[in-house]
A and B are shown apart, each in its own frame.
Chain A
Amino acid sequence: MTMAAYGGLLAASSGTHLGHASAWAVFTTGAVLILAGAFGVILLRNPVHCALMLVVTLFGVAIEFVDESADFLAAVQIIVYAGAIVILFLFVIMFLGVDKREAARPEATRFQKPLAALLGVVTLIEILVLSRVQNWTTGYSGTSANPGGFAGALNGPGENVQKLGQSIYTRYLLPFEMTAALLVIAVVAAVVLSRRQEPVASEMSRAEQEEVVAS
């Protein structure tokens, strides 16, 4: 096996060269993973198991991203979501201790679960009914007078990450810069929120420090 053989394998497996049956196989695999993980998240009792089932769903979504030629987003999905966000969830679960009292405590309202299931089904039916409306399943591509928001072609020559980067750093530069500010604000907010109420040594005057040491 040489690099050329790997290259041929990659070329054969990339993009729209998939056969009909294998495209459906990929889609079905991702869909099964997504639905199994999602039901696991809402049905399992232990929050740790919920977090692990969330990883299954995120992996299924990443598979669908690859299937829809969003290669870079599939990688980011795995790295950021499964890697960082779920780890953050698990960290907080471990930090706080697993809360198993959810099942033991009485419900605030007797009809919470049936009502919630009903509302979920209504939401789903609503989305599916709305999908019959024009432009809901095809998307709005604009008219000839008003061409809509076309941010650059997805297909065509060039890598996916190159086109994505060109779009973000030109047309979406201001939103991109604002996300940087948003992340800084989020970090500062997290520090402020999770800070202990007692003042630390560097915030006390000398007299207060001596008082703490003496007590």
Chain B
Amino acid sequence: MSVPGAWYLILAAVLFGIGATGLLVRRNVLVMFMCVELMLNAVNLTFVTFARLQNDIGGQVSVFFVLVVAAAEVVVGLAIIVAMFRRRAAATADDIHSLKG
């Protein structure tokens, strides 16, 4: 038989914790973005685990939509970073206040 679902949930919780820590520790905006991706992947792992536990395809459909939204988010976020870099030639979180209008 396969591994109990609780182990996957624990793994996802640990991954989410690492991502949250990284988001707070790092100040390079690009790396902060990657930490957001880590947290999204932790949630995806939870969705797939519950889909298996509940025998419900809806969890996998949710992961599908999370993937789409993550792609859109990365496109817009990286465009903001590029715009920020053009203005200040720096990409750390402390420089974001320079974006105000």
Contact = CB atoms under 8 A, between A and B. Distances in A.
Given A31-B11, A88-B78, A186-B72, A93 B53 contact: no
Given A152-B57, A167-B58, A96 B18 contact: no
A193 interface: yes
A118 to B, nearest CB: 9
Contact of B72 (A41, A137, A154, A183): A183
Interface residues on A, range: 35 or more
A14 interface: no
A209 B22 CA distance: 49
B65 A175 contact: yes
Interface in A150-174: 150-155, 160, 163-164, 167-168, 171-172
Interface residues of B, number: 74
Interface in A174-215: 175-176, 179, 182-183, 185-187, 189-191, 193-194, 196
Given A139-B53, A150-B56, A179-B68, A92 B37 contact: no
A73 B17 contact: no
Contact of B33 (A38, A89, A153): A89
B3 to A, nearest CB: 4
Interface of B: 1-3, 5-11, 13-22, 24-28, 30-31, 33-35, 37-38, 41, 44-45, 48-61, 63-65, 67-76, 78-83, 85-86, 90-92, 94
